[in-house]
Homo-oligomer: A and B are copies of this chain.
Amino acid sequence: MLNKLRKRLNHMTPAQMIVLYYFMAVFVSVLLLRLPVATQPGVSWTFMDALFVAASAVSVTGLTTVNISETFTVTGNFILLFVFQFGGIGIMALGTFFWLLIGKKIGLKERRLIMADQNQTGLSGMVKMLKVILLIITIIEVIGAILLGTRFLSYYPTWQEAMIQGVFASVSATTNAGFDITGASMVPYAHDYYVQIVSIVLMTLGAIGFPVLVEVKEFFVNRYRRNHLFRFSLFTKITTITFLGLLIFGTLAILLLEQNHFLADKTWHEAFFYALFQSAATRSGGLATMDINQFSETTLLVMCSLMFIGASPSSVGGGIRTTTFALNLLFLYHFGRGNRSIKIFKRELTDEDIIKSLVVTIMAIVICFTATVILRVTEDHSLIEILFEVSSAFGTSGLSMGITPELSTIGKFVIILLMFIGRVGLIMFLLFIGGKGDNTQIHYPKERVIIG
């Protein structure tokens, strides 16, 4: 029996293992969150709500059908923190690992830079990589907790409460979970730029992709050793530029679109921080320093598209991912110019990656559009509210116009599925539902058709 199970596990594809991990994590989380010690006395919540919160925490989305601060005890808060900590890191680690595994045929030199240990494809290599990820994330989270916790001393009556808020806020920001135990997201810190800057940095470190963090570490190690052979991988360059580009674009868009609206009566620094923070939140962080219902529909539409793009691959974020978006842009540009190959940073992109990026984007649009149509039927909310909720779930951002607690059962299922797909990544999802491929040797003559 156990032998059979092990055999089965050995035969699983990476995609199936990630999905299995996800489902097991959700299952365990539901059990943990349903423990009587987790909820405040007198609170009764349904199994569906527990499933929703568990799926939201494992996928580090942060959407929730219940108010966290009114539902959970301090123990409950830490159980939730534990869930999104491992949900976020687990899938990121597995994803990064499998990418290294799958990508082993090419770019050996580049990978060597990412992983100092040559043995990373074996079990010991995986354990080592997990350790590196955990170590880096933990260091970031501890520093974040100290920076925030000490600041919170001026917000909360006791130092225990300040520290609990600090730890929760740091882990929630770093894993991009976006949960809050303030009861009002980051609104209490709407004028505390220190807290906002720390949170933005933490969210960015979590969402920019684990390989980027490792390479930056390698870069400094190599500089110290005066080894000048180090070179950042194409992935790191593309994802970092896209990430920062989207952050800037989002900030400018919000500033521009809201200048006569929400930001009309704000000072320049208030306006800048409102725009910057909400732009950063769309990458994957999901926290907000204001009630986003106050934004105009146009701003919300732009935020939808930013959340849809999401964060870096191999990060704690979701969406179609920054690289997918960048490759789409590069491809459209080069295709329009009639170029045969796409050159960037003195490297050429592979056809396979380009096709993958196109597939992911179209598939994501189809999924989000279908979800929007379904929710438009099952829910009694406006189009923009639904579109925003769908984009937020798929991008695992967790921002919401407030309709989450009012979702119908079908609506909850759809959002749970979107969070799952967004988090695991469409490529993994497609590999999971897909078969092993067509190995027949039958070939037919090629024939062209008229396009567009």
Given A365-B365, A383-B297; A450-B211 close (CB under 8 Å): yes
Given A359-B331, A435-B337; A449-B323 close (CB under 8 Å): yes
Structural contact, A360 and B451, CB atoms closer than 8 A: yes
On A, residues with C-beta under 8 Å from B are: 99, 103, 106-107, 110, 209, 211, 233-235, 238-239, 257, 297-298, 301-302, 305, 313-314, 320-321, 323-324, 327-328, 331-332, 334-341, 343, 346-363, 365-366, 369, 372-373, 376-377, 383-384, 425-428, 430-431, 433-438, 442-452
Structural contact, A356 and B437, CB atoms closer than 8 A: no
Structural contact, B235 and A445, CB atoms closer than 8 A: no
Question: In the complex, what distance in Å separates the CA atom of A340 from the CA atom of B314?
Answer: 26
Given A106-B446, A443-B348; A357-B451 close (CB under 8 Å): yes
Chain B residues lying within 8 Å of A336, measured Cβ to Cβ, are: 430, 433-434
Q: Pick the contact of A107 from B349, B353, B448 — CB < 8 Å? A: B448
Question: In the complex, what distance in Å separates the CA atom of A79 from the CA atom of B106?
Answer: 63
Question: In the complex, what distance in Å separates the CA atom of A339 from the CA atom of B438?
Answer: 5
Structural contact, A347 and B314, CB atoms closer than 8 A: no
Question: In the complex, what distance in Å separates the CA atom of A351 from the CA atom of B209?
Answer: 31
A-B contact pairs, 7 of them (CB 8 A): A235-B450, A339-B438, A343-B444, A350-B448, A352-B448, A353-B448, A365-B365
Question: In the complex, what distance in Å separates the CA atom of A333 from the CA atom of B295?
Answer: 39
Q: What is the total number of copies of this protein in its complex?
A: 2
Q: Pick the contact of A361 from B338, B362, B372 — CB < 8 Å? A: B362
Residue of B nearest to A433 (CB): B336
A335, A355, A443 pick with most chain B CB within 10 angstroms: A335
Given A427-B452, A449-B234; A301-B331 close (CB under 8 Å): no
A297-B376, A338-B435, A347-B447 known, 10 other contacts, Cβ within 8 Å: A107-B447, A321-B451, A332-B359, A336-B430, A336-B433, A337-B434, A337-B438, A338-B438, A341-B443, A360-B451
Nearest CB of chain B from residue A231's CB, rounded to whole Å: 11
Chain B residues lying within 8 Å of A313, measured Cβ to Cβ, are: 450-452
Chain B residues lying within 8 Å of A351, measured Cβ to Cβ, are: 351
Nearest CB of chain B from residue A250's CB, rounded to whole Å: 13
Chain B residues lying within 8 Å of A343, measured Cβ to Cβ, are: 442, 444
Structural contact, B450 and A323, CB atoms closer than 8 A: yes
Residue of B nearest to A313 (CB): B450
